[in-house]
Structure formats: C-alpha cells, structure tokens
Structure 1
C-alpha cells in the first residue's frame, strides 16, 4: 500500500489517495516525490526569489 492526503487549493476539503499493488509501489512513490519536489521548487523560486548581490 501507498497513500497520501491532498488539500483542495481553494476549498476546505481534503482527499485521501491510496494505491494498492501486487508489486512494489516504489516507482509510484518516486514519481510522486519528484512531482512534489518540482512543485515545491517552483513555489520557492516564485515566493522567495534569490537575487545576486554584487560587491565592488
């Protein structure tokens, strides 16, 4: 089994997602992990941009 919970972006609602597999769920876990990391990285780049500081 592999499961996780998501929150609706606008409404006060949640959803539970559960995967059942006869083989390893490792590929699913890795794929979802990469998607969450990409989303988080894009959010951080937008919400907290880094700027280069030049000292003379």
Structure 2
C-alpha cells in the first residue's frame, strides 16, 4: 500500500510540473489517503500482531 501512495505522490509531482493543477490535487489527495490507511493498518498490526506466546 505504501508503494501505491509513493506512486501517486510521484505522479502528482509530475502533473504539477507539467501544469495539470487539478489532476495534481486529485493525485496528492489519493496519496494522502493511502498513507493514512497504511499508517492505521501498520499501527493495528503492531498492536495485535504480537499477541500470544512466542513459537518454540
């Protein structure tokens, strides 16, 4: 998911450099949403991923 966010961020930068302001805003917004979703899933996996005794 983080790769998708980085890809949309790079596309937003390219669109901004080429003068596509509306498209740049949309791509940056999608990238921001993906980063927040990634962070939430990462924190949840850190909290709930370590439950239980370690495997022997």
Q: TM-score range by the shorter chain?
A: 0.3 to 0.5
More helix by share: 2
More strand by share: 1
TM-score by length of 1: 0.46
TM-score by length of 2: 0.46
Q: Larger relative CO (CA 8 A, sep 6+): 1 or 2?
A: 2
